[in-house]
């Protein structure tokens, strides 16, 4: 087909549709579809310099200094030589540039690795190996088992029956269960016939690239027929092919157009609160600068008018200056240049360096390294560290974050007997250890990973207790698990939910091995004997029924119904004969519930043949009915699921990640609120909330909000609020009501998010913030993000979202800080996170230790940094009053150049990389220490004003003491000391001493490096002083180094050192006094804790605080089952059951 | 991902004190037991030092005279009136008579002081060419732009030394005469005018351009003197070591002052009979009054002063030390009181818990 044959309506590439044709490269070329290269890097070797510089100058501070540089080049106003700005600017730009270059190199390497992966591509009737990046739209490519999908493509055919292909979408959406994709019949017939595939010329018209993972519509036109395409036929880049030997696909979206890349889309640049504050402060400083310049310009005008005009006999006005007004216009800019150091040039680059360093500490932390998976913690974003010290809200995912998503068959109650606890002779529970594990060697088909500790159950099984046998038989029959047996005796279960897998595995180990199934039969190996049960019906699970049943015909021709489900439901369906058993079992269930186990009741019923036959007819009718099918089916189901005989109950442990309850407790002591946002059901979520301390039994009550429309939601919220604090309804809108009362709230999000609409969301927020623990269930990823946004918008606090799956990505991106749990299946969450580590309990270390340190360091850094620049710059302001407002600097130009860059940079960097008020152990022992960060006490506008006042005071002292000391004074040999250069030297040396002692006072943790940096900086100052003022340099460049001999002549004068001592003492004593009096006059809780810690440090460590064992309290149902709609329909329809594969795989021995 | 295929433990972070932030450290605490003694000690030390400074400054004798010539103040007012409004002012002489009733202990230094003279004005301060002053021949012919408007003369010749500072060189001269006996003759007191500039300035910073045929005048050929100067730079003094750019008065003047009121050393009196100081008697200072300052409200002063170990007379440091010392002790006491009161309170609070 030539390009001209392309249907006219499709010619417009910018149109609404994408058009492509299989095996026709020209189409792809014509529409200029990109090839499959992905590019995440920003620069290449040629554009790096201009592009990077351009980006850097977009930053306000850098642009400011560039403008300043241009101002300095104007001789009429230049009050400082150009190098005072150029040298710092070049250093700052190159540090940032090097950092950007290193980052981009890494991205280049990653891109190259991905782009150069190889894939089989159909070229001229042959499969050829090619690189990923060469794949074009319209190509047909072949994928094999366990290969990642190259591009978004239409499944054409596969090795599996019905042209199914199984994919794992963990990287895409975090779900670990396999998904089924099916090719349409017209293409699946081609199988792996390369001739047919090469001849295939189907035309696809589909939507334009978009980021909706679960939506795709398109039409395939082939041989004159149109076939409808949906996302069930699309293999997305990022998926991995599983359990499918090979499959062929037609590439539809490539490279940047794929849904994966469209989703990863633009990176939202996160700014910390400190960043924002810094920008505001820089703006303030800028305004302050302008005001000062204005004042000085006015002063200059007056001076020139009153004195300067007459002083013209010695200093005539420049020829372009016609009046004092014109002169003051020029002087405005001159002072703008002189005072530029108010806006600290190295502020931003220092902040970046500090954050980088503190990020490295996170990467290096051994206590956040997870050895079993070999994953260290990772600070993926290096610009958010101090934000970690201000977290107020933590939003956590449940599955995979709080829990491991591993279900373990933990206990069971069979016919009134409790199994699972190991009890010694005295009847006490004994802690189990690995070596007590029961050996299931008698059962060849047992799963070696399964562990159980109670020997009595095994004894019961081997003794042949009929109830126990029936119990396990029901577990091995009543499920929708599928088995796979690639090697004889090694069964692999594909369960839709891990709960089911756990139950079936338990049955398997105890000798009731579910071996294989077809649409009509279930093969079970019962205590070594293979029996085939006829599967008559699956009464599938749903959220209303909360139970599932199977009806089977045993080899003995009995019709049996096995049912498992929630205790609340099953109890009502039981036969009156087993009420007493039910009571005992319910007691056991309470025990299970208090341990946070997920429970199910198991029951059975024997049906007589006739009854079943009539029921079966009804069932068949209900199945075929078109309207109200669901409802009719559930009525039919209810008819048969009654008069059940109770068998027992199972208790599954939803294994929490290590240390979750302790972490939650520590974090809540640090006044961090933890909200659990989960897509899971309410029961499951509540269960987990109890077991990980988010809900505690001593909390007052649970508010459950699950209205179906916004009005009922509002009513429920209002009711909850009036209960907690009746008068809070009166004050109309303040969101920040804080209540210490311990409440817990539970929000179940209905399908349509009514609770997140308009004014209801405010109501929701108010109620939720009053509660101690909050759980939101049935959340879609979008809703998770909405909740985070909600809190972010109204509460003005720092939020942190932690999750592991792709469904958490939106929340991770929305929160101020996103944390990904890495090392699990699926990388999506981690790739979008700012910090990643592999265990939830590392969160407390991340926040309470690293976050707190980073925040403290950053605050100390900022307050010191602003102070040192104020003290440095404002001296010029005072000097202006004595030099005719002529923009004369107090310091030598070289001092101005080096001050921020050399003399004072290292001590402050050292402080902000090494300082720690208390070590990590104490930080974790006293989570209360975290509070100042949340309230942002250590650096805010008030603190900034303190810095400013302190700076003004210091500059006053720094100027007037030397002035008084040299005024009309002479050296001891009668020569001059009141000359400008000596005066400069005195002031600048005093300044260096003052800022150095100031930082020495700030440092609380003096490492060797701190000593080295501080004394080293002082040393460097004096060395450079003698170098810059040396005879040789001055003779070589007399106009650049104008201060020869000043150091030698003045440093030996007593006035100089007397001034320095006086200045240092005058500057330090108020600070020491303030530090001393502050905790006495305005004590904060932290002071008390610090005092206690300092006291404790002199004494041995207290015993680590053990978390209290939670006492079982309220009776509650612990029913939980992470089950959505089951596989049931699929199984009975026979669609996914690999009838061929079954013969091939399950019984290889018989082949 | 990146670390999936690597060996076990490959990503284990190093267990060093540095990476784990466990560097051994000294953690000082500003407790009351340090702070309060610190205040008291600093206070006492400062008071002691302040007393010493104050008395040594007070021991210095100073004698100063304003010879600006404001109407009626001294006989220099004639010169001042004559020079009014004329540039350059005509040469004029006047004298200052004073008598000492006791010995003015030596060594005695003679200073001149100018007030309201903005040597620290930036435009004034940069109006020089250090390259030219360091004797670079190229800079001699090409003075720096900063020197403007004293960069080139009206005829286009480069000015040497260029710039406003050099142009405004102080050119009053003084001589001191001593009358041993009343009505006796005045004897000239020798003024030692050598080595009044910094050694480094005189030997390093200021250099004459290389002599041409052994002559400094030839070296300066093709340059013009600053407009205010009556003589070219190479005729500043007859002494070949004290002329040109290395003239002591010139070097002293070129070291600009930090403040608008400043003193500059004119001479030392340490020779002959006067090595121990100025004996009692009547004195006369002959002033050749050339330098105009009245136009901008400036003043010219002559000062005789001697010197202590910590320089010239300046009570500031002594007083400042005394005040700061006293403040330290006062604040120390206040803090002690506060500490005792609030300490009890916090203890009570702790007990309440």
Inter-residue contact A958 to A991 (CB < 8 Å): yes
Q: CA A1118 to CA A481: how far, in whole Å?
A: 23
Q: Does A1076 sit within 8 Å of B311, measured CB to CB? A: no
Q: What was the pLDDT predicted at B4?
A: 38
Contacts of A365 in chain B (CB under 8 A): 13, 19-20
Q: Across residues B217-225, what is the average pLDDT?
A: 90
Query: Does B204 contact chain A (CB < 8 Å)?
Result: yes
Report the range of poorest mean pLDDT among A159-163, B65-69, B87-91.
B87-91
What is the percent of chain B with per-residue pLDDT over 90, rounded to a whole number? 40
pLDDT computed for residue A753 by the predictor: 45
- Closest Cα of chain A to B256: distance in Å? 6
Whether residue A397 lies in the annotated active site: yes
Q: Which residue has the higher pLDDT, A438 or B37?
A: B37
Which pLDDT does position B55 carry in this prediction?
A: 92
In a domain, B241, yes or no: yes
A975 — contact with chain B (CB < 8 Å)? yes
Q: Please determine, for residue A785, whether its predicted confidence score (pLDDT) is greater than 50.
A: yes
Q: CB-based contact (8 Å) between B127 and chain A?
A: yes
Please give the average per-residue pLDDT across A258-263, as a whole number.
77
Q: Is A1057 on the interface with B (CB under 8 A)?
A: no
Domain count, chain B: 2
- Mean pLDDT, rounded, for B304-326: 90
CB contact under 8 A, A974 and B268: yes
Q: What is the pLDDT of residue B89?
A: 73
Residue B18 lies in a domain: no
CA distance A928 to A301: 57
Same domain, B198 and B323: no
Rounded CA gap, A914 and A1004, in Å?
A: 10
Contact residues, chain A, for B260 at CB < 8 Å: 882-884
Which of B11, B19, B264 is the closest to A976 by Cβ?
B264
Q: Residue B322: pLDDT band by 50, 70, 90 thresholds?
A: very high
Print the domain residue range for B257: 63-306
**pLDDT tens figures, A674-722:** 888 877 777 777 778 878 877 776 665 666 666 666 677 777 777 777 7
pLDDT at A419: 87
* A 910-969 residues with CB < 8 A to B: 914, 916, 919-920, 961, 963-969
What's the pLDDT at A1149?
36
Interface with B, mutate which of A820, A964, A978 (most B CBs under 10 A): A978
Q: Are B56 and B97 members of one domain?
A: no
Give the per-residue pLDDT at A752.
Answer: 41
Q: In the prediction, which pLDDT does B133 show?
A: 92
Mean per-residue pLDDT, A1038-1057: 89
| Residue A313 to residue B20, Cβ atoms within 8 A | no
Is B4 within a domain?
A: no
Cα–Cα distance, A87 to A329 (Å, whole number): 28
pLDDT of residue A546: 80
pLDDT of residue A988: 94
My answer on whether B47 and B176 are in the same domain is no
> Within chain A, how many helices (H) and strands (E) appear?
40, 33
Give B62→chain A minimum CA distance, Å. 12
Confirm whether B49 is domain-assigned.
yes
A residues 659..718 contacting B (CB < 8 A): none
User: What's the rounded Cα separation, in Å, for the pair A240 and B33?
Assistant: 68
The reply to whether residue B25 touches residue A1005, judged by beta carbons under 8 angstroms, is yes
Please tell me if residue A1008 touches chain B, with a CB cutoff of 8 Å. Answer: yes
Residue of A nearest to B194 (CA): A975
Residue of chain A whose alpha carbon sits nearest to that of B86: A313
Do B55 and B72 sit in the same domain of this protein? no
Mean pLDDT is lowest, of A7-21, A1123-1137, B244-258, for: A1123-1137
Q: What is the average pLDDT across A1083-1098?
A: 81
Chain B residues inside the 8 Å CB shell of A889: 122
Per-residue pLDDT, averaged over A24-28, amounts to 80
Please report the pLDDT score of residue A1128 as a whole number. Answer: 60
- CA–CA dist A362, A766 (Å, integer): 35
> Of B13, B22, B52, which to mutate for an interface test with A (greatest number of A Cβ within 10 Å)?
B13
Tell me: do B78 and B116 sit in the same domain: yes
* Total residues found in chain B within this entry: 353
Residue A486 reports pLDDT greater than 50: yes
Q: Which residue does chain A place closest to B125, by CA atoms?
A: A888
Is the same domain home to B324 and B264?
Answer: no
Task: Note the pLDDT tens digit of each residue in A508-523.
Answer: 888 888 888 877 888 8
In a domain? residue B15: no
Q: Is B351 on the interface with A (CB under 8 A)?
A: no
The answer to whether A1144 touches A708, Cβ cutoff 8 Å, is: no
The answer to whether the Cβ–Cβ distance between B259 and A1035 falls below 8 Å is: no
Q: Supply the pTM of this predicted model.
A: 0.84
Q: Alpha helix (H) ranges present in A304-446?
A: 324-338, 347-364
* Predicted local distance difference test score (pLDDT) of residue A44: 84
* Distance spanning both ends of chain B, measured CA to CA: 53
Contact state of A883 with B122 under an 8 Å Cβ cutoff: yes
Average pLDDT, chain B: 86
- Write the DSSP assignment of A225-248 as a string of letters: EEEEE-GGGEEPTT-EEES-SEEE
State whether B270 and B318 are in the same domain. no
**Nearest CB to B124; choose among A75, A315, A1062:** A315
Q: Does B1 contact A at CB distance below 8 Å?
A: yes
A residues 1081-1140 lying closer than 8 A (beta carbon) to B: 1081, 1083, 1088, 1094
pLDDT of residue A1097: 76
pLDDT of residue B352: 43
The pLDDT confidence band at residue A435, using thresholds 50, 70 and 90, is low
Same-domain pairing of B165 and B299: yes
Q: What integer pLDDT is reported at residue A313 of this predicted model?
A: 86
Nearest to residue A986, comparing CAs of A977, A995, A998?
Answer: A977
Q: What is the distance in angstroms between the Cα of B103 and the nearest Cα belonging to chain A? A: 19
Residue A968 has a pLDDT of 85
Q: Concatenated DSSP letters for A1006-1061?
A: B-HHHHHHHHHHHHHHHHHHHHHT-HHHHHHSTTT---TTHHHHHTT-HHHHHHHH
Q: Which residues of A touch B139 (CB under 8 A)?
A: 1038
pLDDT at residue A260, rounded to an integer: 78
Per-residue model confidence (pLDDT) at position A1145: 39
Task: Using the predicted structure, report yes or no on whether residue A748 has a pLDDT greater than 80.
Answer: no
Task: Report B:279-318 residues touching A (Cβ under 8 A).
Answer: 292, 295-297, 305, 307-314, 316-317
The answer as to whether B201 is a domain residue is yes
Quick one: average pLDDT of A113-119?
A: 87
pLDDT above 60: residue A133: yes
Closest Cα of chain B to A854: distance in Å?
A: 12
Model pLDDT for residues A148-169, shown as the tens digit of each residue:
888 888 898 888 777 888 887 7
- Over 50: is that where the pLDDT of A496 sits? yes
pLDDT at A269 over 90: no
A&B contacts, CB < 8 Å? 295
Residue A344 three-state SS? coil
Q: CA angle A610-A612-A613, nearest 5°? A: 65
**Residue from B258, B301, B316, B340 to probe the interface with A (highest A Cβ count within 10 Å):** B258
pLDDT band at A843 (very low <50, low <70, confident <90, very high): very high
Given the residues A139, A152, A257, A397, the one annotated as active site: A397
pLDDT above 70 covers a percentage of chain A that reads 86
B32 touches chain A (CB under 8 A): yes
Rg of chain B taking only CA atoms, in angstroms: 31
Q: How far is CA A861 from CA A864, A868, A904, A941, A948, in A?
A: 5, 10, 12, 15, 14
B chain contacts of residue A984, beta-carbon cutoff 8 Å: 258
pLDDT given at position A1107: 47
Q: How confident is the model at residue A344 (pLDDT cuts 50, 70, 90)?
A: confident
Please name the residues between 26 and 85 in chain A that touch chain B, using a CB distance below 8 Å: 75, 79
Residues from chain A that touch B310, judged by Cβ atoms under 8 A, are 972, 1054-1055, 1058
Mean of pLDDT values over A366-395: 88
A 290-349 residues with CB below 8 A of B?
Answer: 307-308, 310-311, 313-316, 318-319, 334
Chain B residues in contact with A911 by the CB 8 A cut-off are none
Mean pLDDT of A35-55: 85
Question: In angstroms, what CA-CA distances link A1075 with A47, A945, A1069, A1131, B31?
Answer: 52, 17, 10, 74, 10
Contact between B32 and A315 using a beta-carbon 8 Å cutoff: no
Q: How far is CA A261 from CA A229, A264, A1081, A1132, B300, in A?
A: 21, 5, 57, 38, 82
Question: Is pLDDT at A839 greater than 60 in this prediction?
Answer: yes
Q: Is residue B328 in a domain?
A: yes
Instruction: Determine, yes or no, domain membership for B14.
Output: no
Interface test mutation site (partner A, options B198, B249, B352, max chain A beta carbons within 10 A): B198
Contact assessment for residue B135 and residue B210, using Cβ atoms and an 8 Å cutoff: yes
Q: Which of A916, A1042, A1069 sits opposite B328 (nearest CB)?
A: A1069
Question: Do both B324 and B207 map to the same domain?
Answer: no
The model's pLDDT over A858-906, given as tens digits with 9 standing for 90+, comes to 999 999 999 999 999 999 999 999 998 999 999 999 999 999 889 998 9
**What's the CA gap between A970 and A57, in Å, rounded?**
49
> Which ipTM did the prediction report?
0.94
Find the mean pLDDT for residues A587-607.
84
Q: Specify whether the CB–CB gap between A155 and A141 falls below 8 A.
A: no
User: Are B217 and B127 found together in one domain?
Assistant: yes
Residues B82 and B197 in one domain: yes
- In chain A, residues with a C-beta closer than 8 Å to the C-beta of B312 are 968-971, 974
| A200-247 per-position pLDDT tens digit | 888 888 888 887 777 788 888 888 888 888 888 888 888 888 778 889
Q: What whole-number percentage of chain B has pLDDT above 70?
A: 92
A538 or A1023: which carries more pLDDT confidence?
A1023
- The CA distances from residue B176 to A202, A1087, B254, in Å, are 117, 70, 25
B253 and B114 within one domain:
yes
Please indicate if any CB of chain B lies within 8 Å of the CB of A982.
yes
Q: Is residue A953 predicted with pLDDT exceeding 90? A: yes
Average pLDDT over residues A89-95: 88
At B346 the pLDDT is 59
Question: Would the pLDDT of B306 be above 60?
Answer: yes
Residues 376-415 of A with CB under 8 A from B: 376
Contacts of B166 (CB under 8 A, 6+ apart): B128, B150, B159, B226, B250, B253, B254
pLDDT above 50 (res B62): yes
């Amino acid at each position: 087909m030539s390009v001209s044959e392309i249907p006219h309506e499709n010619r417009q590439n910018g149109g609404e549709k994408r058009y492509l044709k299989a095996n026709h490269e020209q189409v792809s070329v014509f529409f200029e579809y990109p090839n499959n290269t992905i590019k995440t890097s920003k620069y290449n070797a040629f554009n790096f310099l201009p592009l990077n510089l351009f980006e850097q100058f977009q930053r306000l501070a850098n642009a400011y200094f560039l403008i300043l540089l241009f101002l300095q080049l104007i001789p009429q106003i230049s009050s400082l030589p150009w190098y005072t700005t150029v040298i710092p600017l070049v250093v700052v730009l190159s540090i940032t540039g090097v950092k950007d270059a290193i980052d981009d190199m890494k991205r280049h390497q990653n891109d190259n690795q991905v782009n150069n992966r190889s894939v089989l591509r159909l070229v001229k009737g042959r499969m050829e190996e090619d690189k990923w990046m060469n794949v074009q739209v319209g190509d047909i490519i072949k994928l094999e088992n366990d290969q990642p999908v190259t591009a978004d493509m239409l499944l054409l055919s596969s090795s599996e029956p019905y042209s199914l292909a199984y994919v794992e979408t963990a990287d895409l959406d975090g779900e670990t269960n396999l998904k089924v994709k099916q090719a349409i019949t017209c293409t699946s017939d081609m199988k792996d016939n390369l001739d047919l595939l090469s001849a295939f010329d189907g035309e696809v018209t589909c939507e334009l690239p978009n980021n909706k993972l679960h939506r795709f519509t398109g039409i395939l036109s082939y041989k004159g027929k149109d076939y409808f395409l949906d996302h069930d036929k699309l293999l997305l880049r990022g998926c991995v092919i599983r359990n499918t030997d090979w499959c062929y696909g037609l590439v539809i979206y490539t490279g940047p157009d794929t849904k994966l890349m469209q989703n990863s889309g633009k990176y939202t640049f996160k700014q910390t609160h400190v960043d924002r504050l810094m920008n505001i402060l820089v703006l303030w400083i800028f305004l302050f600068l302008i005001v000062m310049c204005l004042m000085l310009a006015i002063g200059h005008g007056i001076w020139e008018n009153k004195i300067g005009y007459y002083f013209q006999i010695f200093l005539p006005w420049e020829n372009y200056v016609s009046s004092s007004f014109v002169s003051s216009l020029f002087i405005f800019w001159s002072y703008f240049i002189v005072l530029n150091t108010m806006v600290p040039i190295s502020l931003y680059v220092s902040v970046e360096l500090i954050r980088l360093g503190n990020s490295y500490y996170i990467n290096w932390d051994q206590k956040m390294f997870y050895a079993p998976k070999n994953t260290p913690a990772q600070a993926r974003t290096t610009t958010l560290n101090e934000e970690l010290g201000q977290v107020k809200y933590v939003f956590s995912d449940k599955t995979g974050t709080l829990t491991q998503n591993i279900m373990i068959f933990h206990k069971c109650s069979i016919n009134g007997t409790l199994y699972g606890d190991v009890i010694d002779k005295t009847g006490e529970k004994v802690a189990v250890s690995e070596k007590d594990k029961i050996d299931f060697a008698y059962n060849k088909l047992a799963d070696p990973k399964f562990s159980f500790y109670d020997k009595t159950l095994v004894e019961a099984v081997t003794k042949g207790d009929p109830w126990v046998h029936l119990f396990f038989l029901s577990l091995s029959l009543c499920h929708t698990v599928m088995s796979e047996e690639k090697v004889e005796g090694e069964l692999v279960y594909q369960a839709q939910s891990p709960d089911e897998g756990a139950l079936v595995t338990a049955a398997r180990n105890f000798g009731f091995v579910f071996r294989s199934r077809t649409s009509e039969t279930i093969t079970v190996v019962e205590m070594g004997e293979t029996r085939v049960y006829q599967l008559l019906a699956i009464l599938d699970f749903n959220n209303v029924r909360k139970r599932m049943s199977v009806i089977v015909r045993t080899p003995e021709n009995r019709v049996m119904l096995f049912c498992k489900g929630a205790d609340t439901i099953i109890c009502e369906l039981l036969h009156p004969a087993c009420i007493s058993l039910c009571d005992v079992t319910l007691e056991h269930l309470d025990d299970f519930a208090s341990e946070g186990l997920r429970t199910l009741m198991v029951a059975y019923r024997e049906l007589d043949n006739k009854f079943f036959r009539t029921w079966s007819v009804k069932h068949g009718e209900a199945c075929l009915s078109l309207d109200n099918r669901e409802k009719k089916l559930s009525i039919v189901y209810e008819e048969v699921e009654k008069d059940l005989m109770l068998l027992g109950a199972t208790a599954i442990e939803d294994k929490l990640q290590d240390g979750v309850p302790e972490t939650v407790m520590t974090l809540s002591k640090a006044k961090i609120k933890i909200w659990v946002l989960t897509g899971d059901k309410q029961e499951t979520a509540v269960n987990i909330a109890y077991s990980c301390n988010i809900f505690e039994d001593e909390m007052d009550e649970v508010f459950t909000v699950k209205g179906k429309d916004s009005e009922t939601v509002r009513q429920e919220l209002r009711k909850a609020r009036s209960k907690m604090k009746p008068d809070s309804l009166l004050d109309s809108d303040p969101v920040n009501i804080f209540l210490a009362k311990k409440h817990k709230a539970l929000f179940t999000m209905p399908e349509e998010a009514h609770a997140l609409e308009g004014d209801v969301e405010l109501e929701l927020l108010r109620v939720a913030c009053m509660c101690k623990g909050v759980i939101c269930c049935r959340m879609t990823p979008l809703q998770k993000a909405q909740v985070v946004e909600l809190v972010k918008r109204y509460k003005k606090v720092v939020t942190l979202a932690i999750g592991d799956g792709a469904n958490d990505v939106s929340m991770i991106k929305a929160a101020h800080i996103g944390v990904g749990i890495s090392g699990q299946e699926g990388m999506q969450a981690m790739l979008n996170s700012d910090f990643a580590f592999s265990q939830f309990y590392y969160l407390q270390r991340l926040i309470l230790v690293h976050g707190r340190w980073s925040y403290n360091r950053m605050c100390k850094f900022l307050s010191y940094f602003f102070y040192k620049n104020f003290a440095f710059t404002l001296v010029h302001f005072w000097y202006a009053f004595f030099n005719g407002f002529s923009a004369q600097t107090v310091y030598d130009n070289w001092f101005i150049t080096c001050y921020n860059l050399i003399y004072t940079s290292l001590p402050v960097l050292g402080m902000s990389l090494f300082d720690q008020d208390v070590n990590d152990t104490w930080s974790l022992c006293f989570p209360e220490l975290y509070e100042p960060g949340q309230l942002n006490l250590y650096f805010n506008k008030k603190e900034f004003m303190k810095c400013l006042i302190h700076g003004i005071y210091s500059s006053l002292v720094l100027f007037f003491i030397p002035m008084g000391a040299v005024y009309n004074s002479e050296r001891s040999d009668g020569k001059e000391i009141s000359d400008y250069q000596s005066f400069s030297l005195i002031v600048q040396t005093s300044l260096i001493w003052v800022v150095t002692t100031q930082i020495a006072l700030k440092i609380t943790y003096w490492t060797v490096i701190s000593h080295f940096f501080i004394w080293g900086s002082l040393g460097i100052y004096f060395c450079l002083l003698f170098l810059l003022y040396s005879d040789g340099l001055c003779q070589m460049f007399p106009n650049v180094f104008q201060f020869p001999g000043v150091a030698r002549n003045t440093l030996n004068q007593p006035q100089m050192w007397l001034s320095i001592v006086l200045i240092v003492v005058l500057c330090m004593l108020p600070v020491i006094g303030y530090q001393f009096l502050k905790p006495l006059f305005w004590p904060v809780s932290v002071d008390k804790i610090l005092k206690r810690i300092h006291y404790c440090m002199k004494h041995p460590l207290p015993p680590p605080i053990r978390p209290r064992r939670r006492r079982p309290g309220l009776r509650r149902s612990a029913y939980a089952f992470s089950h959505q709609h089951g596989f049931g329909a699929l199984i009975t329809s026979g669609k996914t059951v690999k009838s061929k594969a079954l013969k091939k795989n399950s019984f290889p021995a018989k082949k | 991902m990146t670390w999936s295929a690597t060996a076990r433990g490959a990503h284990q972070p190093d267990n060093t004190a540095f990476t784990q932030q466990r560097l051994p450290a000294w953690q000082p605490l500003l407790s009351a037991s340090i702070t309060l003694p610190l205040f008291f000690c600093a206070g006492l030390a400062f008071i002691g030092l302040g007393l010493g400074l104050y008395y040594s400054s007070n021991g210095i004798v100073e004698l100063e005279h304003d010879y600006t010539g404001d109407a009626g103040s001294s006989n220099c007012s004639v010169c001042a009136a004559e020079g009014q409004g004329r540039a350059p002012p005509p040469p004029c002489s006047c004298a200052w008579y004073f008598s000492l009733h006791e010995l003015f202990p030596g060594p005695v230094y003679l200073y001149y002081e100018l007030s309201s003279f903005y040597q620290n004005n930036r435009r004034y301060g940069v109006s020089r060419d250090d390259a030219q002053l360091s004797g670079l021949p190229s800079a001699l012919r090409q003075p720096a732009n900063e020197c403007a408007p004293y960069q080139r003369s009206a005829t286009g010749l480069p000015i040497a030394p260029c710039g406003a500072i050099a142009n405004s060189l102080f050119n009053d001269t003084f001589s001191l005469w001593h009358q041993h006996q009343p009505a006796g003759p005045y004897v000239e007191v020798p003024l030692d005018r050598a080595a009044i500039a910094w050694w480094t300035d005189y030997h390093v910073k200021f250099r004459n351009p290389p002599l041409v045929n052994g002559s400094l005048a030839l070296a300066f050929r093709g340059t013009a003197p600053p407009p205010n100067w009556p003589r070219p730079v190479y005729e500043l003094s007859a002494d070949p070591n004290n002329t040109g750019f290395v003239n002591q008065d010139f070097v002293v003047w070129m070291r600009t002052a930090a403040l608008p009121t400043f003193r500059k050393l004119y001479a030392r009196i340490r020779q002959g009979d006067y090595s121990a100081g100025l004996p009692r008697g009547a004195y006369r200072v002959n002033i050749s009054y050339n330098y105009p300052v009245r136009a901008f409200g400036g003043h010219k002063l002559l000062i005789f002063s001697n010197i202590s170990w910590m320089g010239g007379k300046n009570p500031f440091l002594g007083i400042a030390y005394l005040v700061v010392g006293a403040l330290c002790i006062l604040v120390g006491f206040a803090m002690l009181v506060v500490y005792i009161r609030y300490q009890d309170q916090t203890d009570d609070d702790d007990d309440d818990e």
